[in-house]
Amino acid sequence: MKIYSLIFVVLIVLSGCASKSYVKVVDSSVSRYIDIDDVKERLREDGLKELQVSGENETDEYILLRYRVTWKDEDGFEIPSISSNWTDLPVHKNANFSINIIAPNTKAHDYQLFINKQGD
């Protein structure tokens, strides 16, 4: 019985160390109009993490979105980066869009990508 308890505790501890990376649509009204189809990440040859987010504007209207990324090291500390500033993302009607971002340095472990409607 003790072995099962030990395994359970180890699993709980390991799940707490899981990656904290995510994509969040900040404005809930925007999530009705766009759909995030895919989030890919890879480690480039130079050791930098690369992120690619693909989505689609499902409306018949042009939308001006904005996004920003915060990068964190393996200890959870934020790494200052130009990508932490909001960047405009024009999304045409009934069109696919893509956001491509490269980590500021090789210490970037996790990311948080925020998407919002311009002006909110």
pLDDT tens column, 1-17: 444 333 333 334 333 44
Q: Where are the alpha helices (DSSP H) in the chain?
A: 2-16
Percent of the chain with pLDDT over 90: 67
Domain ranges of the chain: 21-117
End-to-end Cα separation, the chain, in angstroms: 54
Q: Tell me the per-residue pLDDT of 68-97, one tens digit each, with 9 for 90 and over.
A: 999 999 999 999 999 999 999 999 999 999
CB atoms within 10 A of CB 84: 16
**CATH tag for 21-117 (out of 2.60.40.3230, 2.90.10.10, 3.10.28.10, 3.40.50.720):** 2.60.40.3230
Check: CB of residue 100 under 8 Å from CB of residue 50: yes
**102 burial type by CB count under 10 A (0-12 exposed, 13-18 middle, 19+ buried):** middle
